Structure 1
Amino acid sequence: MINAVKSELRKFFTTRLWWGMAIGIFVAAALFAALFALSYTSEGMGGAGGPGGMEGGEVQIANSVYTSGLGIGYLLLLTIGVMQIGSEYRHKTITGTFLSTPRRVQAIGAKIIALLVLGAVYGLISLVGSVAVGAPILAMNDFSPFPDIEVLRSLALALLALGLWALIGFGVGVLIPNQVAALLVGIGFAWIVEPLLGFGLSFWEFGREHLVKYFPSQATNAMVDTVTMAGPNAPENLSWWAAALVLLAWAAVLAGLGALRATRQDVA
């Protein structure tokens, strides 16, 4: 298994994709951290020093600043997850993968472990960018960069969230054999469909209280305990541990179905 995992990581890090993604996630994290830090520390912007219509304490403000690039991060990890398996089917290299690792369960397990490692690596890159930019801005505006140990917990959960999004991408990439279609469906749902659906359901009491909080993006935000929307139509958030279990369930179901299909289907 260790050799199979090394092989999967080598496949990824020997392409130019990895450093392009690394630069993108670092820059996005730094820019969003600067934007959010300046917004939350500006005077007259609403409750708790944040923009109007938002609420949260110093811990939530620090969490929001340091994980502000998480939305871009999980889209990139979703893309990596899709491409990690989708490119194999697209370029017909999956046959060689299964020949080099005859036990398909082991081969698919190696891909899953590799994706978790990639999630942690890119998560660290994202957090380095956001903390390096966000912490000084908070400090210069008389906000504590690390007001409580809960901030460190949120940073660790951000790493877990990115790994789980990579597994979600893996599941989508197997269940939709066409790589381009899988990318369009996965990114389109996470970036466009889910936010619009969540916004629409927020005006329905049952949807606001019982549905929206179980969406993967909503669960991701709840995991890291960020500043939340205020108002009568604001959806309820799960506690951080419940949100982590929800996102884990999404990843387990999609990755599990993908793994089941990959281990049973015929390949050319």
Structure 2
Amino acid sequence: MNHAIRGEFTRLFSTRLPLWALIAAVASGAGLTGVLGLIGPENASPPMPGLDTPEGVGIAVGLTGLLLFVPALFGTVAITSEYRHRTIGTTFLAIPRRGTLLGAKLFVYSIFGLVYGLLMSLSSATALWSVAAVRDVALGASATDLATLLTRMAAAAAIYTVLGVGIGALVRNQLVAVGIVLGYFYFLEPVLMILPGVHTLYQFLPGGATAALTDFTFLADTLTQETSMSEPAMLSPLTGALVLVFYAAIASVAAVAAPLRRDLA
């Protein structure tokens, strides 16, 4: 297993994926938080709580959760690129035990996703503090509360990366796998949120569990205000984390089991 893990790290850093991930993490973290902070949440339409309130800080940081599909895409591309470029055969020849190899991939990309999440969170925190200093605003959240929120966001990024790896291992076709990830987060889950009756299940979907984990319920609250539907129930942060871990476990099992039962072609 150690040999497989070292090999996966070597393969990962021989590509441009870490560089693109670094750029995406900084842009995702600092981008939305910085723009909203400069505009001022209270100046948005409709107005939102300002940065001098805990709610305003939570929204400014929580917006980065809207881009958690990005680490999922990195996980998907990482696994499907080997099938696309037909290097997976050589990889399996180097390490014939597919279960060991796929377990190593999951471990490496879990670390990759966690590092991505930490960079994204640090970028968001840096942007938030910078904007607060420029606008001479005292943040409405303590450093401890902010660190807790950012840590949850980093953990969510790691889980989403594993979800992406699982989708990529199941589908193998890169374009189809990327389409599934984007289609779910941009189309299917928002549709499920507005379907009468079905929207009550939102709390158990990846997006709802993430909202609970990161304490970012802005989307659900906005939907409730603009429609006549009742506000969907939300899980506790711990339960939301457990639901996400459950999805990651399913993705991990799929990522290992599917290639064991199929040919490489």
How many Å apart are 1:43 and its aligned residue?
9.1
Change in Cα spacing, 1:44 to 1:216, as seen in structure 2 (3 Å) is closer
Give the TM-score of the pair, scaled to structure 1.
0.85
How many Å apart are 1:64 and its aligned residue?
2.7
How far, CA to CA, are the matches of 1:212 and 1:100 in structure 2?
43
1:134-149 to 2 correspondences below 5 Å: 134-138=128-132, 140-144=135-139, 146-147=141-142, 149=144
**8 Å Cα contact 1:60-1:226 kept in structure 2:** no
**8 Å Cα contact 1:116-1:163 kept in structure 2:** yes
**8 Å Cα contact 1:119-1:166 kept in structure 2:** yes
Give the gaps of 5 or more residues in structure 1: 51-56
How far, CA to CA, are the matches of 1:263 and 1:80 in structure 2?
23
Aligned to 1:16: 16
Change in Cα spacing, 1:44 to 1:252, as seen in structure 2 (3 Å) is closer
How far, CA to CA, are the matches of 1:97 and 1:60 in structure 2?
48
Match of 2:57 among 62, 71, 79: 62
How far, CA to CA, are the matches of 2:69 and 2:208 in structure 1?
14
How many Å apart are 1:212 and its aligned residue?
1.1
How far, CA to CA, are the matches of 2:2 and 2:165 in structure 1?
20
Match of 2:176 among 150, 170, 181: 181
1:97-176 to 2 correspondences below 5 Å: 97-138=91-132, 140-144=135-139, 146-147=141-142, 149-176=144-171
**8 Å Cα contact 1:36-1:64 kept in structure 2:** no
Return the letter of the residue paired with 2:160.
W
Give the gaps of 5 or more residues in structure 2: none
Aligned to 2:203: 213
Match of 1:248 among 232, 240, 245: 245
**8 Å Cα contact 2:49-2:55 kept in structure 1:** no
How far, CA to CA, are the matches of 2:105 and 2:140 in structure 1?
36
What whole-Å deviation, never above 9, does each CA across 1:142-167 have from its counterpart, x for those lacking one?
33264263332221111111111111
Q: Alignment length, in residue pairs?
A: 256
How far, CA to CA, are the matches of 1:7 and 1:145 in structure 2?
45
**8 Å Cα contact 2:149-2:214 kept in structure 1:** yes
How many Å apart are 1:45 and its aligned residue?
5.7
What whole-Å deviation, never above 9, does each CA across 1:23-57 have from its counterpart, x for those lacking one?
1231232120023334435499656438xxxxxx9
My pick for the range that moved more, 145-154 or 247-256, is: 145-154
Return the letter of the residue paired with 1:76.
V
How far, CA to CA, are the matches of 1:184 and 1:162 in structure 2?
19
Change in Cα spacing, 1:227 to 1:220, as seen in structure 2 (3 Å) is closer
Aligned to 1:54: none
Return the letter of the residue paired with 2:54.
V
| Root-mean-square deviation over aligned CA pairs | 2.5
Aligned to 2:81: 87
**8 Å Cα contact 2:61-2:124 kept in structure 1:** yes
Matched, 1:197 2:192: yes
How far, CA to CA, are the matches of 1:43 and 1:192 in structure 2?
25
Identity %: 26
How many Å apart are 1:246 and its aligned residue?
1.1
Return the letter of the residue paired with 2:166.
G
My pick for the range that moved more, 100-109 or 140-149, is: 140-149
How many Å apart are 1:236 and its aligned residue?
2.4
Matched, 1:49 2:50: yes
How many Å apart are 1:9 and its aligned residue?
2.0
